[in-house]
């Protein structure tokens, strides 16, 4: 079990380390290998096998961990069309065990002591030996490669030995992400909580709606900013220039639910135009934040949930005294009050905790929620918005 968790957190660590030089790097898991890294194309630039042993010890040249990895890599390379030297992915074994001097593992580590030719000769000697039977098939598979293929294979092979064991990974993660020591536990708890949810999506194979192909270093950096900003208070950039909407822009929203919600409480054109201005620019600003990885979809969903919660308290409080016998005029009056108080409250809610956000982003985002309101959950302004939303949906279906 620790081995699987190690694989998951190793993918996070490797992605964090790449983020400094290549924020466009992407990671995926269990497609062609334990962990894969993509760099601007569908073909992996690196195939990584992760091996965790709590009692480190030394790597055995005839060990199952290595030779089964070799067989896995050969199979993966066949699936991507046996790439040539130019497009050959890096084949990397990350292990908590240690490479002893004189072994081919030692010769395939990064650094000045790397010697591909000597490692190749030693690997072929081990592969051709009589035993052990536990790796006979995998060693045979390697020897069936042509001499040039074996050289290309070994040339692409990198041994990363002495990796921290699972219980020591947190300090490596904190360093890779640049997290301050006094914030390490709090920030890592949130980052790892997010990462494990992402990992489940990466590993999902049955439900397309719940799966994702990969995660980029840029998205990790964005999530790290969101979490770190709770302690630093950094504000999201405002790039939208607030302006009056044209008559054509306003008219384009004429049949949208966001406008219907305002019509149901009796708002006039001038008030609707003002609220639509917030709605229009907040939509564009949120899209810009998502596009440029200033906020993640999870961070935005958290913000919207906080806005919804403010509305819910206000709506329940102001509509509690109404009943089925209440006059329509009274209901509209209450609805206007719900809208006004909600707008005042959400204008002060930051898009990212610990920061500040201009008021029109909160007001406009609240209208976005009203535009896609759930009849059972809201948000809405009119006390009877639930039935009004259902009636509208029924009419549209007809």
239 pLDDT exceeds 90?
no
Could you say which DSSP state residue 50 is in?
Answer: E
The 10 Å Cβ neighbour count of residue 384 is 17
DSSP assignment of 116-161 equals: HHHHHHHHHHHHHSS--GGGHHHHHHHHTS-HHHHHHHHHTEEEE-
Residue 305 Cα to chain centre, angstroms: 19
Peptide bond into 132 cis (omega under 30): yes
The mean pLDDT value for 114-124 works out to 96
pLDDT of 41 reads 66
Rounded distance, CA 116 to CA 122, Å? 10
Residue 360 Cα to chain centre, angstroms: 27
CA angle 365, 247, 308 (to 5 degrees): 15
Predicted confidence (pLDDT) per residue in 70-113, tens digit: 999 999 999 988 888 888 999 999 999 999 999 999 999 999 99
Name the pLDDT band for 195 (thresholds 50, 70, 90): very high
397 pLDDT exceeds 90?
no
Is there a contact between 257 and 371 (Cβ–Cβ < 8 Å)?
Answer: yes
Q: Nearest CA to 175 among 17, 349, 285, 330? A: 17
Q: Which of 11-25, 137-151, 152-166, 177-191 bottoms out in mean pLDDT, i.e. has the lowest?
A: 177-191
Residue 61: phi, psi to the nearest 5? -65, -20
Rounded distance, CA 122 to CA 113, Å? 15
Tell which wins on pLDDT, 54 or 342.
Answer: 342
125 pLDDT exceeds 80?
yes
Predicted confidence (pLDDT) per residue in 318-350, tens digit: 999 998 889 999 999 999 999 999 999 999 999
Three-state SS at 38: strand
Share of the chain above pLDDT 70, in %: 98
Please give the structure tokens belonging to residue 107.
Answer: 């010769």
The mean pLDDT value for 265-277 works out to 97
Name the pLDDT band for 30 (thresholds 50, 70, 90): very high
pLDDT of 398 reads 85
386 pLDDT exceeds 90?
yes
The mean pLDDT value for 19-44 works out to 89
pLDDT of 352 reads 87
The mean pLDDT value for 244-257 works out to 95
Residue 26 Cα to chain centre, angstroms: 10
pLDDT of 232 reads 66
Q: What are the respective helix, strand and coil percentages of the chain, to the nearest 5?
A: 60, 10, 35
Strand partners, 95: 51
Residues near 201 by beta carbon (within 8 Å), at least 6 away in sequence: 210, 211, 212
Cα→Cα distances 120→59, 66, 71, 155, 390, Å = 17, 14, 16, 8, 71
39 pLDDT exceeds 90?
no
Q: Nearest CA to 49 among 62, 63, 77, 30? A: 30
Three-state SS at 113: coil
Rounded distance, CA 222 to CA 238, Å? 16
Cα→Cα distances 278→189, 250, 251, 358, 360, Å = 35, 12, 15, 11, 5
Q: Which of 149-158, 167-176, 182-191 bottoms out in mean pLDDT, i.e. has the lowest?
A: 182-191
262 pLDDT exceeds 90?
yes
Token look-up 């004189």 returns 102
Share of the chain above pLDDT 90, in %: 78
pLDDT of 233 reads 59
Name the pLDDT band for 236 (thresholds 50, 70, 90): confident
Widest Cα–Cα separation across the chain? 93
Name the pLDDT band for 358 (thresholds 50, 70, 90): very high
């Amino acid at each position: 079990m620790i081995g699987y968790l190690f694989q998951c957190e190793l993918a996070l660590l490797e992605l964090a380390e790449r983020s400094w030089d290549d924020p466009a790097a992407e990671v995926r898991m269990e497609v062609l290998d334990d962990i894969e890294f993509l760099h601007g194309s569908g073909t992996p630039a690196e195939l990584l096998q992760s091996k965790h042993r709590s009692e480190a010890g030394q790597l055995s040249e005839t060990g199952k961990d290595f030779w089964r990895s070799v067989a896995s890599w050969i199979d993966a390379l066949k699936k991507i069309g046996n790439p040539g030297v130019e497009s050959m992915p890096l084949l990397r074994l990350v292990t908590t065990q240690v490479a002893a001097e004189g072994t081919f593992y030692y010769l395939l580590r990064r650094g000045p002591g790397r010697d591909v030719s000597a490692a190749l000769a030693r690997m072929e000697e081990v592969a051709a030996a009589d035993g052990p039977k536990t790796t006979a098939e995998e060693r045979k598979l390697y020897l069936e490669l042509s001499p040039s293929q074996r050289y290309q294979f070994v040339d692409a092979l990198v041994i990363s030995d002495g990796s921290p064991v699972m219980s020591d990974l947190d300090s490596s993660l904190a360093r890779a992400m640049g997290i301050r020591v006094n914030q390490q536990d709090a920030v890592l708890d949130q980052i790892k909580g997010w990462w494990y949810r992402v990992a489940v999506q990466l590993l999902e194979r049955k439900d397309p709606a719940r799966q994702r192909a990969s995660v980029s270093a840029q998205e990790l950096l964005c999530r790290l900013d969101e979490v770190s900003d709770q302690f630093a208070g950094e504000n999201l950039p405002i790039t939208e220039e607030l302006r009056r909407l044209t008559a054509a822009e306003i008219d384009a929203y004429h049949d949208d639910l966001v406008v219907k919600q305002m019509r149901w409480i009796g708002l006039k054109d001038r008030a609707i135009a003002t609220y639509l201005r917030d709605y229009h620019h907040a939509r564009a600003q949120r899209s810009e934040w998502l596009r440029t990885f200033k906020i993640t979809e999870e961070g935005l969903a958290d913000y919207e949930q906080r806005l919804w919660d403010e509305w819910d308290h206000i709506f329940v409080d102001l509509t509690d005294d109404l009943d089925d016998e209440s006059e329509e005029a009274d209901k509209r009056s209450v609805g206007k009050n719900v809208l006004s108080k909600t707008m005042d409250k959400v204008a002060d809610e930051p898009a990212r905790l610990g920061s500040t956000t201009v008021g029109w982003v909160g007001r406009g985002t609240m209208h976005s929620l009203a535009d896609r309101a759930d009849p059972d959950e809201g948000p809405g302004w009119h006390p009877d918005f639930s039935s009004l939303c259902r009636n509208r949906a029924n009419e549209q279906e007809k």
